[in-house]
Amino acid sequence: MRRGFLTALALVSATAVAGDPTTRQLSPFHTVQVNVPFNTLIQPATGNTYSVSIDAEQAVKDKFRATLLNNILALDIYGSIQTSQPVLITVILPASQLQEVDVSSSAQVSVAGGFSANPFTATNTGSSRLSFLGLNAPTVNVQYSGQGSGSVVVDAANRNVRITGSSVGSGGVKYNRGQCNVQGTFPASICKQDPNLRIPPQ
């Protein structure tokens, strides 16, 4: 079991009203684990900022936790929730620091352009759509082990991006440029290139 300084960050505020984002500044981290069924946006900071925010009804905020351990930021929900409003989680960290995104829930996870760590790892163990806009990492390692129809979508910043990895589920990798060689257990090709693929800016 890993040892380290464990901080449970309860993103709640007695004065917050439904729909007002609640933000918490964090210590440095390089990996984001998304274990919540909410839309999640990961953005590069303009400086040396590390933070996480949630825009949701207060009842959702009360059960949301962001746990920081050994440079890994884990996003979780404790207990059942019901909400009629959309939920958005935003994670911010320096462009050179993001090394891995690990998604284990059914969610839409978007990584904004500007990140450049090498190598970079994208792991999808659920039925989520994990999208990268303008990814500038020379090497991207994709690991997919879900049983659903999850996918990894890469809008590469240039033709030098190499996408490698493995898949033991039915998910695939969609990309617009670069090289893709992801090995899978299904006969169909895991890599599907679409030169016209575009991910709208977040």
Q: What are the pLDDT digits (tens) for 108-130?
A: 899 998 888 788 888 888 777 88
- Please state the pTM of the whole predicted model: 0.83
Does residue 72 fall inside a structural domain?
yes
Does residue 144 fall inside a structural domain?
yes
Does residue 15 fall inside a structural domain?
no
Question: Environment class of residue 62 by beta-carbon count within 10 Å: exposed (0-12), middle (13-18) or buried (19+)?
Answer: middle
Q: How far apart are the first and last CA of the chain?
A: 37
Does residue 9 fall inside a structural domain?
no
Tell me, what's the pLDDT at 14?
A: 35
Structural domain count of the chain:
1
Does residue 54 fall inside a structural domain?
yes
Does residue 8 fall inside a structural domain?
no
What value does the mean pLDDT of the chain take?
81
Full residue range of the structural domain in which residue 183 is found: 21-193
Does residue 3 fall inside a structural domain?
no
pLDDT tens per residue across all 202 residues of the chain? 443 434 344 443 333 344 578 999 999 999 999 999 899 999 999 889 999 999 999 989 999 999 999 999 999 998 888 888 889 999 999 999 999 999 987 888 999 988 887 888 888 887 778 888 888 878 888 877 655 566 888 888 888 888 888 877 666 888 888 888 888 766 567 888 888 877 655 5
Tell me, what's the pLDDT at 100?
A: 93
Does residue 137 fall inside a structural domain?
yes
83 contacts 61 by C-beta, under 8 angstroms:
no
